[in-house]
Amino acid sequence: MRIKPEFVKYLEENGCFGSVVSIDHLEELGQEISSLHDEGLLDDSIYNYSGKKRPYHTPRLPKSLPRARSIIIVSTPQPMIRTTFNWENRKIQLLVPPTYFDAYKVANRARLLLKKAFEPRKYRFVRAMLPLKLLAVRSGLALYGRNNITYIPAFGSFHRPTAFYSDYDSPVDNWQEKKALPLCDKCKACIEACPTKAIREDRFLVSAETCLTYLNEKPASERFSRWIDASAHNALIGCMRCQMVCPYNKELINWYDDREEFTEEESAYLLEGKFSGERAARIEKKLKRIGLDLSSFPRNLEVLLQTRKNFVGTCG
């Protein structure tokens, strides 16, 4: 039976979850992502960014902590955000999935909890840009779902992982083989719910380049392809279809925080797509509280309002 480190127990007492692996696995994390690309399972558009490899595909020790001994991953349970847009005399409620908001707040709290967990010893914790889903599964913190999203006990996919390099020399190394949720072998709920057929029955790795999350994270200047049915859209950013039907999330699908309400005037301004000056700054401040910025508009909001024009109080 694996011994749970004291710092992990402290995290759990404070509503978070954690695990640790040796720094020796750092290169292996990058190589595992690279191998998927080399095998043709990971599209160039996902693997590369602006013509270059993404930093977490070629992880390196930070200059500020060149003698790091471990990688600690902390996962914080996080709900969806529900926000309201007033439009044509209706209140239309739209979702923002977990992990899009409060990134710095969550990371700072995780770092603070780690520091307190190890007191009076003073270890360092430097934020790590790594393939977090892979790290979470490899460390035993989470399990993969067929939708390639990670799941933790009690909170399903409603959590935000954060990783840190540390000079803490852990006596345990939780590195393990990747594991999937037990029901995924027989369940097809996410396959049937995926609006772009990115989740496939013939392989476990999703076709990320056709995933709606990837497609609607693009800049508003890139219009949606015609092959994407308007009814596929279900969130202001990202996509919740596979998570909402997953049996492991059945107790969580109504877990959200209500944040921000946009007036008719503000909604019209976002749909216009011409942003400048103090007005834009005020709107962006509100958007920041739900994890968004003006770069997502008007494209995503426009298509959502169009598909919901016949419904009042529609959510998700």
Residue 223 falls within a domain, yes or no? yes
Q: Say yes or no: 220 and 205 in one domain.
A: yes
Residue 91 falls within a domain, yes or no? no
- How high is the pLDDT of residue 39? 80
Cα separation, 119 vs 246, whole angstroms: 39
- How high is the pLDDT of residue 53? 55
Residue 40, judged by CB atoms within 10 A of its CB (0-12, 13-18, 19+), counts as exposed
Residue 95 falls within a domain, yes or no? no
Residue 1 falls within a domain, yes or no? no
Q: Say yes or no: 224 and 110 in one domain.
A: no
Share of the chain above pLDDT 90, in %: 82
Q: Say yes or no: 177 and 192 in one domain.
A: no
Q: Say yes or no: 221 and 114 in one domain.
A: no
Q: Say yes or no: 238 and 196 in one domain.
A: yes
Q: Say yes or no: 36 and 175 in one domain.
A: yes
Residue 315 falls within a domain, yes or no? no
Q: Say yes or no: 70 and 190 in one domain.
A: no
Q: Structural domain of residue 58, as residue ranges?
A: 6-79+100-181
Residue 235 falls within a domain, yes or no? yes
- How high is the pLDDT of residue 52? 54
- How high is the pLDDT of residue 310? 44
- How high is the pLDDT of residue 73? 98
Cα separation, 188 vs 167, whole angstroms: 43
Residue 312 falls within a domain, yes or no? no
- How high is the pLDDT of residue 316? 43
Residues of the chain with pLDDT under 70: 1-2, 49-56, 309-316
Look at residues 147, 181, 215 and tell me which one is the last residue of a structural domain.
181
- How high is the pLDDT of residue 185? 92
Please identify which residue in the block is written with the tokens 């000056």.
277
Give the start-end residues of each E strand in 113-255.
125-127, 143-144, 150-151, 159-166
- How high is the pLDDT of residue 315? 42
Residue 153 falls within a domain, yes or no? yes
- Split into its structural domains, the chain has a count of 2
Look at residues 181, 206, 223 and tell me which one is the last residue of a structural domain.
181
Structure confidence by residue, pLDDT tens digits, 143-158: 999 999 999 999 999 9
- How high is the pLDDT of residue 266? 97
